[in-house]
Structures are given as C-alpha cells and as structure tokens.
Amino acid sequence: ARLVVLVSGSGSNLQALLDACADPAYGARVVAVGADRDGIAGLDRATAAGVPTFVERVRDHADRADWDRALTAQVAEHKPDLVISAGFLKLVGTDFLASFGDRYLNTHNSLLPAFPGIHGPRDALAYGVKLAGATLFFVDAGVDTGPIVAQVAVPVLADDTEETLTERIKDAERRQLVDSVGRLVRDGWTITGRKVTIP
C-alpha cells in the first residue's frame, strides 16, 4: 500500500512509519512526505530514507482554498491508499476531503473527544485527568472530530511536566500508529457513520 505522510515538525511518528515500512511484511511504503513549511526535521527524515518530499506553504497562495487545491494535487500525484497527518499543523479544506476524506488519518495526542487542538498534553495536565493518551482517527470537516480507529491510554503521573507527559504519550502514539496503519493496509476498512471497522 502507498502512504503519503504530512508533517509540520520533528516527524518522530513519520520515522516510526519509515522504520516499519523497511520490513516488506509490513505491507506499506511511504511514497512521499509533504509539509506546510521548510526546514523541519520531518523533511530531513524523509530525505534520509530516500523518500521524495514536497512543501506547500499557505503564504505562497492567494487564499486558503487555493492552497488546499494545490496540496490535494500534490498528494494525488502519489496515488496514496492512505494519507497520514503525523503532526501536520494545518486543517485541510473541502477539496482535500473530497479526494481523501475516507482515507485521511490523523494522530492526535489526547484521548478524544477530550482536549482537541494543539495542546493536548498541556490541557490534560491542567485539567488534572489521570489518564491521557493518543487517538488515531479519520479526519472529517471538524477539528479532531472524525471517526476513531484506535486509542491508547497512558497514566498521568504526579510529578509529570508537559514535557514528560508529552513524551510518554508520543511513545504509545507511535506504536499505535504503526500497528493500526499495518492493520488497515493489510485488512482494509469501512467507515459507517462514526464506526470504523477493520475486518
């Protein structure tokens, strides 16, 4: 199966996928990595693995819809079976969802529907929850609202800082991402309303 991964930052989730794809039994390969900005470690990781990259910056476009069309075209060129947002910090638009809405995954660092948005671990800590975690879901038109594929929980410890909790979540998140993407590409999936079924 062909994976296109979108990143905006360090790309440790991308790296976990690249490592998993090195084993032919995994059944997938990363055919391209896209970003919304230059100069990020995620793009370097792709290049180091010999994977082509592309960058589509919002500010190079007349408006957000134009950027969305360009991103959609770039991704479509690589004919992905799955598109994976792994720390991609842009919300895609209607064109992108029309093309990839049933095969665009995002991994988020909270147990949704709690703590959507970009500060999952910080918000979990501030709220005082005792379990945090990560959620893998198919992206819909909302913010962190789409049908859930998998969730993993980790404890919040008494002496946690934002950094220590973030790292504990990311560790579990990477394993979940690799496991779930492997299952999806091997077994397929159906989305019925909010329910994702992997046969």
Binding-site members are 11-13, 64, 89-92, 106
Shortest separation between residue 7's beta carbon and ligand GRF, angstroms: 6
In the complex, the smallest distance separating the C-beta of residue 86 from ligand GRF, rounded to whole angstroms, is 5
Q: How many CB atoms lie within 10 A of CB 152?
A: 19
The residue of the chain with the least Cβ separation from ligand GRF equals: 87
Q: Is the backbone peptide bond immediately before 121 cis, with ω within 30 degrees of 0?
A: no
DSSP 3-state helix, strand, coil percentages of the chain (rounded to 5)? 40, 25, 35
| Angle between helix 41-48 and helix 12-21 axes, rounded to 10 deg | 10
Q: 112-115, long-range: CB within 8 Å, 24+ apart, which pairs?
A: 112/137, 112/144, 112/145, 112/148, 112/151, 113/144, 113/145
Q: Which stretch binds ligand GRF (CB under 6 A): 17-25, 56-64, 73-81, 101-109?
A: 101-109
Instruction: Determine the size of the site formed for ligand GRF (CB under 6 A).
Output: 15
Q: Given the rule CB under 6 A, which of 6-14, 47-55, 56-64, 72-80 is the region that contacts ligand GRF?
A: 6-14
Q: How far is the CB of 42 from ligand GRF (least distance, A)?
A: 6
> Which of residues 1, 2, 9, 58 is near ligand GRF by CB under 6 A?
9
Catalytic residues: 108
Q: How far is the CB of 76 from ligand GRF (least distance, A)?
A: 23
Map tokens 């950027």 to a residue. 67
How would DSSP label each residue in 151-172?
Answer: EEEEEPPTT--HHHHHHHHHHH
> Quick one: which segment of 26-34, 51-59, 104-112, 147-155 binds ligand GRF (CB under 6 A)?
104-112
176 is a site residue for ligand GRF (CB under 6 A): no
> 3-state secondary structure string, 77-96?
HCCCCEEEECCCCCCCCHHH
Residues that bind ligand GRF (CB under 6 A): 7, 9-14, 42, 86-87, 107-109, 170, 173
